[in-house]
Structure 1
Amino acid sequence: MTAPPDHAKDLASIFHKLFGGDPRTLAILAASYIETHLVELIVRRLPGIDAEIRKRLFDPIRGSVSTFGAKIDLARALNVLTDRGRSSALLVAKVRNSFAHNLRLSSFDHAEVAKYIDKMEYHRAIQMTPDGSHDIDNKNMTREEVFSYLVRQFCLDISFSLGGGNWAVSDLEDIEPKLRPRPSPSPTPTPTTAPEGFLYR
């Protein structure tokens, strides 16, 4: 059997931290995954790039595109990220930075983190939940769930764009039955327009 690509292995480690894990670990891992593999998607849009140019651009200390924010902006300029993808990635980065720089934070409900999660536009996407129902907005979700579902979908989009998303899906199928069941709204509304995704295909 063919081994899964590295990005799929990385994604599996994040999936195991979703829903009920340590918030700091999840925030840092999720941001790291998005930042690391966003670079791979950017590089695919730069046909003339070589190893030397890549280092000059993305070197973590001296690179001209060394920060997460700069990578996000470049990804949007190259039409790797949609507007929703850019705004969501910036919010994930801010959540990560909050946990990384304040050791007293231990919850997504802390005011310093909650202000970013409350701006996340997960409510624009209709998401199938483990019990077969649909969540259509953030109103009945905890902040941990909003962050976890958004991160899950964002990372899945990246994995599929890089190839090998089937590995991520098979891993997710093993994890999702453990998630907390949610009540099914009745009737289930039908969206009039498709929600904007995180990435351009």
Structure 2
Amino acid sequence: MDYFDVLHKEFENESDRAAVILAASIADELLRSTLSARLVAVAGATDDLFDGANAPIGTFSARIELAFRIGLISSKFARDMHLIRRIRNEFAHNIQGCSFEDARVKSRVEELSNSHTMLMDAKGNKKKVSTRNQFLEAVSWMIWHLKELVTEIEAIHQESCEWGYQAPEPKKKAASATPKKQQAKSASKA
């Protein structure tokens, strides 16, 4: 499946703001799924690491950092995920018409686009596409990578109890002394 085509079709009728926020949300959710697949599973429907106001990895930024620190993603991938997060924040927090033509957004998208080779032709030249399509191309291959990573990742298995929690083995009763040894003990006492 070509995620660029899927995203392009999904977002072609959306505003720039909606396209960015939704694409970043998909990437964030896949990053959460990747981390969940790696960590020891929890029994309940909610996970205190991810869910709730004070969840330690409840934010996109924290998930990016943890995924990098435990070796799930490279430093370049983490940096680019942070760029996507910052672009999302520009669109989410600017009340007035933020667009891909905004200088700060355009600069971040160019930085994001220049860090990968997905828009290179066979001769190594960068294809000329709109800033919006540069963003969608970058997000699409990163989403594809995270989707694949979720299916390939090995979960950490829960450790069995440490030795301090184990009940001590019962002591074996010493074998009773043989009659000759008992006689020798009696003789020495006399």
Q: Could you tell me the TM-score, scaled by structure 1's length?
A: 0.63
Report if aligned partners of 2:4, 2:136 keep a CA contact under 8 Å in 1: no
Cα distance in structure 1, aligned partners of 2:116 and 2:74: 14
- State percent identity of aligned pairs: 23
Say whether the 8 Å CA contact 1:11–1:33 is kept in structure 2.
no
Q: Is the 8 A contact 1:33 1:155 kept in 2?
A: yes
Q: Indicate conservation of the 8 Å contact 1:91/1:120, yes or no.
A: yes
Q: How many residues align?
A: 151
1:37 aligns with 2:30: yes
Match of 1:78?
70
3-state SS, counterpart of residue 118 of structure 1: helix
How far the C-alpha of 1:137 sits from its partner, in A, is 5.2
Please provide the CA RMSD for this pair.
3.2
- Identify if the C-alpha distance between structure 1 residues 37 and 126 changes in structure 2 by more than 3 Å, giving closer, same or farther: closer
Q: Which residue of 2 aligns with 1:191?
A: none
Aligned ranges 1:1-201 → 2 under 5 Å: 14-18=7-11, 21-46=14-39, 48-51=40-43, 55-122=47-114, 124-127=116-119, 134=122, 136=124, 138=126, 140-163=128-151
Q: 2:169 maps to what in 1?
A: none
Describe the SS at the equivalent of 1:124. coil
User: Distance between the aligned counterparts of 1:149 and 1:38, measured in 2?
Assistant: 18
**One-letter identity of the residue aligned with 1:41:** T
Deviations 1:165-189 (A, max 9, x none): xxxxxxxxxxxxxxxxxxxxxxxxx
Q: Distance in 1 between matches of 2:100 and 2:76?
A: 21
CA-to-aligned-CA distance 1:111-144 (integer Å, 9 cap, x gap): 231231122144531447xxxx558455733321
Contact 2:100 2:106 in 1 (8 A): yes
TM-score normalised over the length of structure 2: 0.66
Q: 1:99 to 1:51 in 2, by over 3 A?
A: farther
The alpha carbon displacement at 1:76 in A equals 0.5
Is the CA contact (8 Å cut-off) linking 2:118 and 2:138 kept in structure 1? Answer: no
Consecutive unaligned residues of structure 2, counting only runs of 5 or more, are 152-190
